[in-house]
């Protein structure tokens, strides 16, 4: 390979540019790379959701009409309202009408219009403004829904979205933003969400999705039409006593989502049970009539998740002290041995032996549990088989009624689920129920409980559990914003366990749904050199292997350029290019790993080649990764030696790295010249300065090896030296021991 004249370096490079034009002064021989920022993720709205926006499932509300008008004028509309007002379904209905999508579109067909409505992920950080480049390219007939409840929309971000939507409006596309009352900074385009009739939502769901016409009939309030029709047809059959029996079950204030949940529970009620209860209720026998009334009330309580039952039991009935705590313990530890529930209840107020003794005095614990609605199985475990749903309902009611004891309840949960505590093995179930409680609770305890779990020294199972719960919180509308903020806070925490949790989260579904969020958090973790950083590096590599290699390359390149003194970029770069068995980028073998693919791409893709060269050059200047960089260099050499990496391309890249990394001076030329063109004396000097054991080249297989024919201190004389009489340095050390990595090295060539 012909060496470049020293004066020809450095060449002009233009890397990391996002503008459409780069102006170069003078001649240039190097590639010019213009990077595009990655687009915000979009996901097609499911056909199940779209089906709820058309007849016969659609429950009328006036919101879509107003939204459709705003879309026609501006290409943008905003629906604001509390959670549970049907704002998302109204947005989908408005977009469907605005785009004039056919109601009979087949979702399985490749020509279906169902995929024309997309969820636009707000994958930007707090305070950032999404540039036009990251927003989807304007295409005709596309509708987008953006949930502002997941990410704060600043006035500048709102202006950027308005500008983008103006372009959508020109091609009959549009954007609908949904969020809370304060999630959109500009009220001019905001349309308050009008709640649909919850009972109609439930009836439509029962009739047309669950195929339960009998149960839908129970919710039908107006039975006069059926009676009139019977009269017109002169039918003599007795009126149906079950018609409208549960017409008051769902008031208008219930959210559409809750109405659907109630409908799904009502669908599980067997019609014969209701028929029997109604017949008993109309019996002349007072005892039978009372039994029928109680059975109907039990069905109603089960469908409504025991709201009235718990109100009477906990509030009106005066249940206090041990009974209340026993119910709470059984609710969190449903399915656990009864003794565990007792021990957990004792820990609620651990003030000594007197408090502990009270739980075992008077009525037995089993009697206490039965009195508050808990079943005790034959295997002596707490169950709610006879009252499904009572456990979660009891947790919610307790948190609502005893507001002054919320802190005590949260501390109790933290105490009994701590490592080594009485209920440690039940932490997953407790975490899931605390998450469900926190969706609607005032002063939600979820994140405080997880913070108490994420302590230094916790094991991998605990880390995995916390990561799973945080991931679930991030996809929960009510907790998403707090979950994103908590992950960012933990990513920069001094607590290594919390950083490991974040790395675990970013490596999973969270990283796929919010790639920009995940990469920012991984960068914070990679500032450290510990196990969490190794997990973060592995997460980066995993994303690259899952089809995001181009994005990961651009991200690392951005880190190296924007944060040249930060160790995160070099650590990420080394993780991506490490072919060793313990490297994050190694596959089943280095030949099938990312490094082999990168080297292959570098042959025909200047952008990848420049990334490898500039990445190496920046990494070699970072002192925090010096040892890791040297280890990866050795791994590259080993991979070339084993023919896992292309020799010419790999060493060609390292040659350019050397040219960029080495200062242009006399010593550099003296050390890194071409042995084939230099005098034997110069080669001999390089050999001596390399600090190599002279015996290693006594058997060089190359007949023209300059080291075998050099006069003076070359290998032939060393061959005659007795083995025990090693050459020594001026300070008396063996040359073979001055460099711990000298074994197996060869002379510079």
Question: 238-269, pLDDT tens digit by residue?
Answer: 567 888 899 988 888 888 988 998 999 999 99
Average pLDDT over residues 686-699: 59
Q: Would you give the distance in Å from CA 327 to the centre of its chain?
A: 34
Residue 225's pLDDT band (cuts 50, 70, 90): very low
What residue ranges define each of the domains in the chain, with the CATH number in brackets?
Answer: 42-192 (3.40.50), 198-233+241-304 (no CATH), 668-738 (no CATH)
Dump pLDDT digits (tens) for 256-303: 988 998 999 999 999 999 999 999 999 999 999 999 998 998 898 889
Residue 334: the pLDDT is: 95
CA–CA dist 302, 304 (Å, integer) = 6
Q: Which helix (H) or strand (E) holds 676?
A: none
Q: Helices 446-453 & 480-491, crossing angle to 10 degrees?
A: 20
Query: Quick one: what percent of the chain has pLDDT higher than 70?
Result: 77
Give the pLDDT mean for 630-657: 91
In angstroms, the Cα distances linking 494 to 491, 539, 639 are 9, 20, 37
Q: Tell how strand 375-376 and strand 382-383 pair up.
A: antiparallel
Distances (CA, A) of 73 to 92, 166, 505, 536: 18, 9, 41, 46
Structure tokens at 564: 């040249």
Q: What is the DSSP string of 99-157?
A: HT--TT--TTSTT-SGGGEEEEP--S-TT----GGGSPPP-TT-EEEEEGGGS---HHH
Strand partners, 177: 78, 146
Taking the C-alpha atoms of residue 393 and residue 314, their distance in angstroms, rounded to an integer, is: 12
Q: What tens digit of pLDDT does each residue of 328-346 get?
A: 999 999 999 999 998 999 8
CA gap 123, 564 in Å, rounded: 25
pTM of structure:
0.78
CB count within 10 Å of CB 504 equals: 23
Whole-Å CA distances, 192 to 85, 154, 177, 241: 9, 20, 12, 40
Question: What CA–CA distance (Å, rounded) separates 289 from 281?
Answer: 4
Specify the 3-state DSSP secondary structure of 545: helix
102 by Cβ neighbours in 10 Å (0-12 / 13-18 / 19+) ranks as exposed
With a cut of 90, say whether residue 725 has pLDDT above it.
no
Q: Is 726's pLDDT higher than 90? A: no
Tokens of residue 246, six digits: 């549960």
Q: Both tokens of residue 736? A: 């073979």
Close Cβ partners of 642 (under 8 Å, ≥ 6 residues apart): 590
* Distance separating alpha carbons of residues 318 and 306, to the nearest angstrom: 17
pLDDT band for position 391 (50/70/90)? very high
Cis? peptide before 41, omega within 30° of 0: no
Lowest mean pLDDT, pick from 172-186, 205-219, 351-365, 636-650? 351-365
- Asked if 453 and 417 count as a contact pair (C-beta separation under 8 A), the reply is yes
For residue 406, give every residue at least 6 positions away whose Cβ sits within 8 Å of its Cβ, in sequence order, or none: 399, 443, 445
Place of tokens 């079943």: 375
Triad 35, 40, 45: Cα angle to 5°: 150
Count of beta carbons in the 10 Å neighbourhood of residue 401: 14
Task: Report how far apart the first and last C-alpha atoms of the chain are (Å, whole number).
Answer: 12
């Amino acid at each position: 390979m012909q060496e470049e004249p020293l004066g020809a370096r450095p060449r002009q490079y233009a890397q990391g540019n996002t503008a459409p034009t780069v102006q170069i002064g003078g001649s240039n021989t190097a590639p010019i790379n213009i990077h595009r920022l990655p687009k915000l993720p979009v996901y097609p709205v499911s056909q199940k959701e779209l089906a709820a926006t058309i007849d016969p499932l659609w429950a009328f509300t006036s919101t879509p009409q107003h939204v459709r008008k705003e879309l026609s004028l501006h290409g943008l509309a905003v629906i604001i309202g509390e959670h549970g007002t049907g704002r998302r379904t109204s947005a989908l209905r408005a977009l469907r009408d605005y785009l004039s999508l056919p109601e009979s579109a087949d979702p399985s067909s490749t020509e279906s219009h169902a995929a024309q409505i997309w969820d636009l992920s707000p994958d930007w950080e707090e305070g950032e403004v999404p540039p036009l480049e990251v927003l989807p390219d304007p295409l005709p007939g596309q509708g987008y829904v953006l949930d502002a409840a997941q990410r704060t929309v600043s006035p500048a971000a709102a202006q950027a979205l308005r500008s983008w939507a103006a372009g959508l409006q020109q091609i009959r596309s549009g954007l609908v933003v949904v969020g809370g009352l304060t999630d959109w900074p500009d009220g001019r385009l905001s349309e308050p969400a009008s709640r649909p009739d919850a009972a109609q939502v439930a009836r439509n769901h029962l009739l047309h999705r669950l195929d339960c016409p009998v149960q839908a009939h129970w919710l039908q309030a107006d039975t006069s039409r059926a009676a009139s029709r019977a009269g017109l047809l002169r039918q003599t059959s007795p009126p149906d006593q079950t018609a409208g029996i549960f017409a008051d079950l769902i008031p208008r204030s219930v959210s559409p989502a809750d109405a659907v949940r109630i409908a799904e529970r009502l669908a599980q009620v067997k019609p014969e049970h209701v028929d029997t209860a109604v017949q008993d209720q109309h019996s002349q026998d007072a005892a039978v009539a009372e039994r029928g009334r109680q059975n109907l009330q039990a069905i109603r309580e089960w469908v409504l998740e025991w709201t009235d039952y718990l109100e009477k039991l906990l509030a009106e009935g005066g249940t206090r002290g041990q009974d209340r705590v026993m119910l709470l313990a059984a609710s969190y530890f449903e399915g656990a041995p009864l003794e565990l529930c007792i021990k957990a209840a004792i820990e609620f107020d651990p003030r000594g032996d007197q408090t502990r003794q009270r739980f075992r005095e008077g009525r037995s614990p089993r009697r206490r549990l039965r009195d508050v609605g808990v079943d005790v199985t034959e295997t002596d475990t707490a169950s709610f088989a006879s009252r499904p749903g009572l456990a979660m309902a009891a947790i919610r009611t307790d948190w609502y009624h005893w507001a002054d004891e919320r802190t005590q309840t949260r501390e109790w949960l933290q105490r009994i689920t701590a490592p080594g505590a009485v209920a440690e093995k039940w932490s997953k179930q407790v975490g899931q129920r605390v998450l469900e409680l926190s969706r609607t609770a005032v002063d939600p305890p979820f994140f405080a409980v997880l913070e108490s779990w994420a302590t230094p020294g916790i094991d991998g199972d605990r880390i995995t559990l916390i990561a799973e719960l945080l991931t679930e919180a991030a996809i929960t509308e009510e907790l998403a914003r707090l979950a994103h903020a908590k992950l960012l806070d933990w990513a920069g925490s001094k607590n290594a366990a919390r950083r490991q949790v974040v790395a675990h989260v970013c490596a999973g579904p969270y990283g796929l749904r919010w790639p920009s969020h995940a990469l920012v958090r991984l960068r914070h973790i990679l500032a450290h050199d510990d196990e969490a950083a190794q997990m973060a590096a592995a997460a980066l590599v995993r994303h690259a292997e899952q089809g995001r290699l181009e994005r990961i390359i651009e991200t690392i390149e951005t880190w190296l350029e924007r944060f040249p003194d930060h160790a995160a970029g070099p650590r990420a770069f080394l993780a991506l290019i490490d072919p060793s068995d313990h490297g994050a980028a190694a596959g089943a073998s280095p030949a099938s790993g990312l490094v082999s693919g990168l080297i292959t791409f570098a042959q025909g893709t200047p952008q990848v080649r420049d990334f490898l060269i500039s990445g190496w050059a920046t990494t070699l200047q970072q002192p925090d990764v010096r040892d890791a960089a040297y280890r990866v260099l050795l791994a590259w050499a080993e991979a070339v030696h084993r023919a896992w990496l292309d020799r010419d391309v790999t060493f060609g890249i390292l040659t350019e790295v050397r040219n960029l990394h080495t200062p242009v001076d006399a010593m550099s030329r003296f050390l890194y010249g071409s042995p084939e063109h230099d005098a034997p004396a110069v080669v001999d000097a390089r050999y001596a300065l390399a600090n190599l054991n002279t015996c290693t080249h006594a058997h060089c297989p190359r007949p023209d090896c300059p080291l075998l024919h050099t006069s003076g201190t070359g290998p032939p004389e060393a061959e005659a030296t007795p083995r025990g009489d090693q050459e020594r340095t001026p300070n008396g050390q063996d040359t073979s021991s001055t460099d711990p990595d000298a074994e197996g090295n060869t002379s510079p060539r």
